[in-house]
Amino acid sequence: MRPVTHHEAVKLVEMPNGHIGEGFFATTLDNVVGLARKNSIWPLPFATSCCGIEFMATMASHYDLARFGSERIGFSPRQCDLLMVMGTISKKMAPVLRQVYLQMAEPRWVISVGACACSGGIFDTYSVLQGIDQVIPVDVYVPGCPPRPEAIIDGFMQIQNLVSNESLRRRTSDKYQELMSSYGIQ
């Protein structure tokens, strides 16, 4: 049989912590599920303005988010597990954003990209939401106006880190339920 080889420049997925013996490898279910989820995140881009353009660059061939297993961009909330909010969110838009979040199945994660999504940015006005965390919980904030694709990728890798280390029981824990209740989500 031909030995399996790979190009040295191709980085293989890191093996989770566990016990290796002759002919076996044992680890926890949390680790295996985390590894699979981490490398198959389906993002839903909620892009309303200029930060969305940076995201387009992040998806394009030079930065290539597909390298992280996330080439499949979805516009169907029911099939995606990472909501990426990029751009200014007006107060009129806030209920729509929240509805999209609610339509996503658990487990779901949220990344807030750019100053506008994180805090309203330069738009300290009557019509702009001063941070999306006023209506939905956020896992990772990416600062910048706009953040460069490297910063978006860094935020994405922080999400991957959270995803791979999240306990399978987190979503049913009292702490998580409290968080959801604080946003009026059952």
In angstroms, give the least distance from the CB of 109 to ligand SF4. Answer: 20
Residue placing its CB nearer to ligand SF4 in the complex, 34 or 114: 114
In angstroms, give the least distance from the CB of 157 to ligand SF4. Answer: 20
Beta strands in 55-154 (DSSP E): 82-86, 109-113, 140-142
Residue choice 145, 157, 168, 185 for contact with ligand SF4 (CB under 6 A): 145
Measured CA distances, 98 to 40, 137, 154 (Å)? 24, 10, 25
Segment contacting ligand SF4 by CB under 6 A, of 30-38, 48-56, 68-76, 162-170: 48-56
Q: How far apart are CA 118 and CA 142, in angstroms?
A: 8
In angstroms, give the least distance from the CB of 41 to ligand SF4. Answer: 22
Q: 10 Å Cβ neighbour count for 181?
A: 10
Residue placing its CB nearer to ligand SF4 in the complex, 80 or 85: 85
Residue 131 is a binding residue for ligand SF4 (CB under 6 A): no
Residue 164 is a binding residue for ligand SF4 (CB under 6 A): no
Q: 10 Å Cβ neighbour count for 91?
A: 14
What percent of the chain is helix, strand and coil (3-state, nearest 5)? 40, 15, 45
Residue 87 is a binding residue for ligand SF4 (CB under 6 A): yes
Encoding tokens for residue 2?
């031909």
Residues 7-46, one symbol each (x = binds ligand SF4 by CB under 6 A, - = not), give ----------------------------------------
Q: Interhelix angle for 149-165 vs 29-38, to 10°?
A: 160
Residue placing its CB nearer to ligand SF4 in the complex, 146 or 155: 146
Residue placing its CB nearer to ligand SF4 in the complex, 109 or 141: 141
Q: What is the SS3 assignment for 77?
A: helix
Residue 50 is a binding residue for ligand SF4 (CB under 6 A): yes
**Among 53, 57, 123, 115, which residue's Cα sits nearest to residue 90?**
123
Q: Which positions lie near ligand SF4, rule CB under 6 A?
A: 49-51, 87-88, 114-116, 121, 145-146
